[in-house]
Structure 1
Amino acid sequence: MRLNIEKFKFDFKRKLMNTFAEEIEDAPKLHIYMALGGLVRDYITEAWVNSNNYYTENNIKQVYYFSMEFLIGRLLKSNLLNIGIYSLCEEGLKELGINISELEELENDAGLGNGGLGRLAACFLDSMASLGIPGHGCGIRYNHGLFEQKIINGYQVEVPDNWLKEGNVWEIRKENKSVEVRFGGNIRISQINGRLSFIHENYDAVRAVPYDTPVIGYDNNSVNTLRLWSAEPIDTEFDLFSFSKGEYSKASSYKASVESISQVLYPDDSYIEGRLLRLKQQYFFVSAGLQSIVRRFKKTGHSIKELNDFAAIHINDTHPAVAVPELMRILIDEEKLSWDEAWKITTSTIAYTNHTILAEALEKWPVDMFKKLLPRVFMIIEEINKRFCEEVLDRYHGDWNKINEMAIIKDNQIRMAYLAIVGSHSVNGVAKLHTEILKKQELSSFYNYSPYKFNNKTNGITHRRWLLQANPELANLITETIGDSWIKSPNNLSSLLPYKDDSAFRDKVAKVKLNNKIEISNDIYKKYGIKVDPYSIFDVQVKRLHAYKRQILNVFNILDLYNRLKQNPNLDIVPRTFFFAAKASPSYHLAKQTIKLINSIAFMVNNDAQLNNKIKVVFLENYRVSLAERIIPASDVSEQISTATKEASGTGNMKFMMNGAVTIATLDGANIEIKDAVGDENIVIFGLKDYEVLDYYKHGGYSSREIFNNDRRINCIINQIMNGSLGVAGSEFNMLYDNLIYNNDEYFVLKDFDSYVKAQNQIDSYYKQKDKWQQMCIANIAKSGIFSSDNTIREYSKEIWNTQEIIL
């Protein structure tokens, strides 16, 4: 982009004037931010239009990535970096008396996701655009995110995440691209022109309105699209008749019912209405997205039978699995194809990523609920299941045990993961271990039936956000040392490896880390009033809160260390600050108890003068992308301590290593591949191996009560939690206690405790050796490039989607 500071200042002042009729000196900061965002969008609009036109005019195959979450974070800084004008804008705004950092802080994190699933989708969009792969996101434009987390008296309190209250400067409403989505009603079958027709009657219609956000590639002219759908009433006229008669609720009930579909991310599904709303959400955005794809494709003039040659539809986990029968519905009912023609196109077009082996996440829907809400789609699923079961019986010579294992519909439940597998041409796991577990354990019947479908694509992260943007001082140091080729070719970070033996470089890396630690320490003092020692070890576990991620194991180590310090205040340890950040699902009471426990321990530890500030505990409120961008660059230790076999991949582990943190980890998910990359000497491993965990699950032999009775440290810790020693009644933590003792510790917290404590002692020992620790940090940075999502997306593109990188 040809731009200089004077032109930028002129454009910016004009944009502010045209948008808000204000001069800079009179404009509030929010208006200044919105004017800047609007100007940036103006700058890229031509490239956005040109990209889409080029894809269409040149018959380029495009990827459509369907996901319930897109955790994109803030966009101002990343967009400015990607179009190469961040420094220019920073300087131009400075000359106008404006601090760009203050504007960045005004932007709300988009409330479009919760955890790794959504952040992965965002990283993938970034990499597709930056590699020139035509790839677009499809999801829901939630009016409210999951929730905004407040910590009050140590408890999580959920308040609405009203991220759109000031609007969203990056999106464009495309009302003319709206489509209709239908729920409920009945299906009338009729013979028309010698063909069975399925006529949907008496349905409730919802208008799906798309909002498009540009996804800007780094230093190229590619701009892809994140299309998010908003649910609106078909009839937007106010029901004056009902209102005039005093039927106020009737006048507004239809509108409220429709708008609830895109109101909030993950409504509470602990009750039937919440479950129903989740199913509505999934079908809503899938149907809208597929209708949009087909409509756009038909404008090219190609036969609908060629759809799979021009579109790759990827479903991110099981939430969008209804794409399989919905695409069949469109092809059969609307495009009048035969079943076999439609099935061939569907299975050639759709690919599926599995993200979990947890039973709770392998989604199932009650037949009665599904049939009532989506009658025609259910009929198609029934037919898919019938035909598939016939194939299985034929293959296995009438073995009905195979039907029990593999049927899509069983026990009055629709198994959505099975539907996704049967209806796609590719099924991938997201780390080598995870994929092997899918193939050999959880989905072994399907792997044995269709081994050619299964493949591994280890997750990745976009290094442009998680290093270039989040840690600019380190990024600049890397560029000064090895050049800037790593920004486009992240594997070139390996050129840093020899510098781990350069004492001057090690000192520079250590100085960057210290500066980041000082910066966030100041923020913590301002927000929480807690004085954090930036020279202490920053030991960080920030991620979604779930029992398998074992925040409770971290807590047990803190209490053990606390007890040792109480016995011996002169204990020779490096001062350590333990950081936590996590949201617990509102109905996940065990996770909410864990948050209360962490905060109770924090209060006790942080106010115990006898500890002489050797340990501190900080719970960072309302974890989100922008907070991750601040804590990760300041971290020394990355806690990746899930029970082996439970974490499909993890991407936080990659973000930490990229910023020079040392990983303490079980051999789970992508931790294994990180270990293989950096070597045993640059990671700290502990705990049960995958085969040991699986053996316990299969054959038993584990007794948590036995460990509780025989390990005095664990006995002491659990008694502390339960006897009121933390200043909280033990009854607060009954569920935690029952989970560990009465329910036999499903995730082996007590079993791995001793190994974990030894690993933490090893961390302390390494940190005392200044040169060794810095060598470990640099080795992690140097090897992190292989975990860039650029590499992952190239594998998807070549091996699943059959797409090409376009130079515009």
Structure 2
Amino acid sequence: MFSNKEKFKEVFSKKLEMMCGKRFEESTVRDQYHTLGNMIREYISNNWIQTNEKYRAENNKQVYYLSIEFLLGRLLGSNLINLGIRDVVEEGLKDLGIDLREIEESEADAGLGNGGLGRLAACFLDSLASLNLPGHGCGIRYKHGLFEQKIVDGYQVELPEQWLRNGNVWEVRKADLAVEVNFWGKVEVSQEKGRLTFRHIDAEKVMAVPYDMPVIGYDTKTVNTLRLWSAEPAKMFPIHKNIMQYKRETESISEFLYPDDTHDEGKILRLKQQYFLVAASLGSIVRTYRHKYGHLYDFHKHVAIHVNDTHPVLAIPELMRILLDEEGMSWEDAWHITTNTISYTNHTTLSEALEKWPVYIFQPLLPRIYMIVEEINERFCRDLWERYPGDWKRIEEMAIIAHGLVKMAHLAIAGSYSVNGVAKIHTDILKHREMKLFYEFFPEKFNNKTNGITHRRWLLKANPELSRLITNAIGDEWIKQPEKLLDLKPYAYDVSFKQNLAAIKQKRKKMLAQRIYEQTGVVVDESSIFDVQVKRLHAYKRQLLNVLHIMYLYNRLKEESSFSIYPRTFIFGAKASPGYYYAKKIIKLINSLAEKVNNDRQTNEQLKVIFLENYRVSLAEEIFPAADVSEQISTASKEASGTGNMKFMMNGAVTLGTLDGANIEILELVGEENIFIFGMTADEVISYYQNGGYHAYEYYHHDKRIKQVVDQLVNGFFPNVYDHFEPIYDSLLTQNDQYFVLRDFAAYVEAQEKVEKAYQQRDKWLEMSAINIAHSGHFSSDRTIREYANDIWNIKPISWE
């Protein structure tokens, strides 16, 4: 049906009328989108079936990637590109008077993730399929995702993200493969044939119903699966509960991503989500495996289960439960299989982000799982005692259960065979600081896998003009071998190439300026420097440092008639977690500053501030190609890796960043002359945390620029906000500036001055831009996934010959 334009037009028109029950002329954009989506699913169904049959027939070891988030974005465009049929479809639709871009715009972003964690998982799925590797995703089919962000009077307002309002054309519901998941109840212990047996009785049952989505590889027949679980009531509902209450509680499990957990009710729901994900996924994996092999004694030889951060770590006790209670294995055999099946990625150095569950919540909700975790803890502490006899402090710090809390990162390390960080510095910090005691005990488990992004979405799809320019220069091998982008390096000194690069950047800036005008009503100067910080709103990411610098520029423009700057448009995009009130204050601050700056005739030709609401994948695809400056200014040692830094780099933006996360590896590749680095090192930050000695007030009193902008948070500079920014003021002074915003302020101002100077040397700037693009192939998720496949999972690509 996609063999040529004429065939496509014929099938599309006929199918649309059959599916929608209306004449072609009467069809809406949504009708056209659903028709095209169904055609693609039908087109790949044979490959999808064949891929699964091949995995079954060839005894391939398979990996299952468990993640609480998969931030997929829109799938129509990337599927058309990966199948190599975009041109046929675009031309065919054009003949029918339909604009393919309009159809793509009508697709909702899949509401299955929030930030870098979920986007990484989506990039990994793309790479697994494109490299013909047997790997599938397991997640939750959230009905509403996180939330849709609206900005009202400068404040973030959260609305339900109704991405499923018009259905999801890519999914296939498989009710016959549902898995039963048990909560609450109690455990009955008895003795049979000389061994203890455990039965979970009086449990509240929930059905996990799978919805499968195809993951289409680039230019290959491989179609892997993303299996998403939806929570539905079981036929036998608990007699002690009102049926409507049971239905509501059940469906709430897959209703929202990250329910607010400030109260116990939210904590219970989050823990339910996590167990629901792993119990459903393992139930399904084990059922498939049993069907083929019968017993589970070689399970670890054929299956790798990867947990993406701590959310799916209950996979460890759940696999133990299956092996002990269902298979009747000894503890030693079950533990051997489990610890050779499960691998774990750590994504944070923030101790407050390492999950800990109160025993009083965990034990009643998951009684059998808690017993197993308790036993794992007992045996682990015994091993520690043998190695470090009498060292109670060390054992207390490493215990999985301590002080009434179950520590999920400790469980993850004890129960897996591989623990990886996501950038060189992050892994070093894990080994030598955050997880130092565990590294001393299990040095062989720790390794680094620097994150990556799929260049097929973030370059080929997001920036087709730049992709064509690259292909014209070095051929198209880079699409399958992204490391070949390095061949672009000589073109950084080619006048014609740089002129074309500049023209493409200008075109994308014009497109983003149009989007900004449509969304905010603000006209921005398309020839200004587009200085962009888009990412989750968190104090350690230091959007506040960026804001204080803009306030400083504004003050100078107002007060010094001789001072001027090269026109600059500062662009922000970020969601703050609903319960993270400090982050919401920062959003209000950005918008209050935007209102003041953008409406000041004295300054607004040189300075504009834009906050783009509801930051998401499809919006990111418009922002990255248009950016000149990539703001990666987190407090050194706090950002595990970052992937936005890689997307900006791939699209020719130059990084302004701290020595944090993957910024360090970008610096190593492009050289210090092609990046702007400033601020404290991780060692300096860690030293302050360990030894004290930082006094924010010193910076406040000794730098009049800092004093002025900090005072402006509370002195009426922003009209009509009353005391709204006092918590920000207090965080900097009373609470001693936890993320060293004031300490790095002067260095940041100096770095920004260097950025402005460099940008005005157009030839040099374009050279920097091209060198960044040339080195960005290293940060393709294809490289990352090959490393995971070879070093951790031990999986091999399949062959279609």
- Alignment map for 1:396-545 (pairs within 5 Å): 396-545=388-537
Cα deviations by residue, 1:772-791 (Å, 9 ceiling, x for unpaired): 00000000000000000000
- Alignment map for 1:647-666 (pairs within 5 Å): 647-666=639-658
Q: Which residue of 2 aligns with 1:246?
A: none
Q: Which residue of 1 aligns with 2:109?
A: 109
1:727 deviates by 1.5
Aligned amino acid, residue 144 of structure 2: H
Tell me if 1:762 matches 2:754: yes
Structure 1: 5+ residue stretches without partners: 243-248
Cα deviations by residue, 1:587-633 (Å, 9 ceiling, x for unpaired): 11100000000000000000000115101000000000000000110
Aligned amino acid, residue 265 of structure 1: L
Aligned amino acid, residue 789 of structure 1: S
Q: Distance in 2 between matches of 1:2 and 1:8?
A: 5
Contact kept, 8 Å, 1:181 with 1:288, in 2: the verdict is yes
Q: 1:265 aligns with which of 253, 257, 260?
A: 257
Q: 1:289 aligns with which of 273, 281, 287?
A: 281
Deviates more, 1:516-525 or 1:211-220: 516-525
1:549 deviates by 0.1
Q: 1:720 aligns with which of 712, 718, 735?
A: 712
Contact kept, 8 Å, 1:459 with 1:787, in 2: the verdict is yes
Q: 1:686 aligns with which of 678, 690, 707?
A: 678
1:569 deviates by 4.5
Contact kept, 8 Å, 2:557 with 2:564, in 1: the verdict is no
- Alignment map for 1:94-133 (pairs within 5 Å): 94-133=94-133
Q: Which residue of 2 aligns with 1:176?
A: 176
- Alignment map for 1:56-95 (pairs within 5 Å): 56-95=56-95
Contact kept, 8 Å, 2:174 with 2:212, in 1: the verdict is yes
Q: Distance in 1 between matches of 2:173 and 2:195?
A: 39
1:14 deviates by 2.5
In structure 2, relative to structure 1, the CA distance for the partners of 1:399 and 1:236 (3 Å cut) is closer
1:195 deviates by 2.3
Aligned amino acid, residue 353 of structure 1: T
Deviates more, 1:634-643 or 1:187-196: 187-196
Q: Distance in 1 between matches of 2:18 and 2:56?
A: 33
Contact kept, 8 Å, 1:13 with 1:24, in 2: the verdict is yes
SS at match of 1:188: strand
1:724 deviates by 1.4
SS at match of 2:338: helix
Deviates more, 1:370-379 or 1:298-307: 298-307
Cα deviations by residue, 1:168-191 (Å, 9 ceiling, x for unpaired): 000000101101000000000011
1:354 deviates by 0.2
Contact kept, 8 Å, 2:2 with 2:85, in 1: the verdict is no
1:144 deviates by 0.3
1:23 deviates by 2.6
Contact kept, 8 Å, 1:393 with 1:402, in 2: the verdict is no
Aligned amino acid, residue 20 of structure 2: F
Aligned amino acid, residue 291 of structure 1: G
Q: Distance in 1 between matches of 2:34 and 2:716?
A: 51
Q: Distance in 1 between matches of 2:236 and 2:521?
A: 50
Q: 1:613 aligns with which of 590, 593, 605?
A: 605
Contact kept, 8 Å, 1:6 with 1:92, in 2: the verdict is yes
Contact kept, 8 Å, 1:13 with 1:23, in 2: the verdict is no
Q: Distance in 2 between matches of 1:728 and 1:466?
A: 41
Structure 2: 5+ residue stretches without partners: none
1:737 deviates by 1.1
Aligned amino acid, residue 231 of structure 2: A
Tell me if 1:51 matches 2:22: no
Q: 2:745 aligns with which of 753, 758, 766?
A: 753
Q: Distance in 2 between matches of 1:168 and 1:571?
A: 54
Q: Distance in 2 between matches of 1:549 and 1:351?
A: 28
Contact kept, 8 Å, 1:721 with 1:730, in 2: the verdict is no
Q: Distance in 1 between matches of 2:449 and 2:537?
A: 25
Q: Which residue of 1 aligns with 2:591?
A: 599
Q: Distance in 1 between matches of 2:423 and 2:22?
A: 52
Cα RMSD for the two superposed structures: 1.3
1:527 deviates by 2.1
* Alignment size in residue pairs: 800
Q: Distance in 1 between matches of 2:424 and 2:528?
A: 35
1:193 deviates by 2.7
Q: Which residue of 2 aligns with 1:4?
A: 4
Q: Distance in 1 between matches of 2:306 and 2:242?
A: 40
SS at match of 2:304: strand
SS at match of 2:91: helix
Q: Distance in 2 between matches of 1:464 and 1:750?
A: 39
SS at match of 2:511: helix
Q: Give me the identity figure in percent.
A: 59
Cα deviations by residue, 1:562-605 (Å, 9 ceiling, x for unpaired): 01111235534210000000001111110000000000000000
Contact kept, 8 Å, 2:20 with 2:31, in 1: the verdict is yes
Tell me if 1:298 matches 2:290: yes
In structure 2, relative to structure 1, the CA distance for the partners of 1:189 and 1:236 (3 Å cut) is closer
Contact kept, 8 Å, 2:509 with 2:526, in 1: the verdict is yes
1:251 deviates by 4.1
Contact kept, 8 Å, 2:598 with 2:604, in 1: the verdict is no
1:22 deviates by 2.3
1:7 deviates by 1.5
Q: Which residue of 2 aligns with 1:233?
A: 233
Aligned amino acid, residue 224 of structure 2: N
Q: Distance in 1 between matches of 2:362 and 2:44?
A: 43
Q: Distance in 1 between matches of 2:634 and 2:799?
A: 41
Cα deviations by residue, 1:218-271 (Å, 9 ceiling, x for unpaired): 00000000000000000289x9x99xxxxxx93421111100000000000111
Q: Distance in 2 between matches of 1:22 and 1:512?
A: 41
Aligned amino acid, residue 116 of structure 1: G
Q: 1:316 aligns with which of 308, 326, 336?
A: 308
Q: Distance in 1 between matches of 2:2 and 2:39?
A: 15
Q: Distance in 2 between matches of 1:302 and 1:253?
A: 39
1:368 deviates by 1.3
SS at match of 2:181: strand
Q: Distance in 2 between matches of 1:105 and 1:23?
A: 23
SS at match of 2:228: strand
Contact kept, 8 Å, 1:723 with 1:730, in 2: the verdict is no
1:738 deviates by 1.1
Q: Distance in 2 between matches of 1:270 and 1:730?
A: 27
Q: Distance in 1 between matches of 2:573 and 2:500?
A: 28
Contact kept, 8 Å, 1:539 with 1:578, in 2: the verdict is yes
Q: Distance in 2 between matches of 1:129 and 1:265?
A: 26
Q: Distance in 1 between matches of 2:568 and 2:786?
A: 40
In structure 2, relative to structure 1, the CA distance for the partners of 1:754 and 1:730 (3 Å cut) is farther
Q: Which residue of 2 aligns with 1:245?
A: none
Deviates more, 1:605-614 or 1:647-656: 605-614
Q: Distance in 1 between matches of 2:332 and 2:53?
A: 33
Contact kept, 8 Å, 2:206 with 2:250, in 1: the verdict is yes
1:29 deviates by 1.1
SS at match of 2:298: helix
Q: Which residue of 2 aligns with 1:355?
A: 347
Aligned amino acid, residue 398 of structure 1: G
Q: Which residue of 2 aligns with 1:16?
A: 16
Q: Distance in 2 between matches of 1:729 and 1:20?
A: 51
Aligned amino acid, residue 119 of structure 2: R
Q: Distance in 1 between matches of 2:676 and 2:414?
A: 40
SS at match of 1:499: helix
1:381 deviates by 0.3
Q: Distance in 2 between matches of 1:69 and 1:669?
A: 21
Aligned amino acid, residue 179 of structure 2: V
Aligned amino acid, residue 397 of structure 1: P
SS at match of 1:3: coil
Normalising by structure 1, we get a TM-score of: 0.98
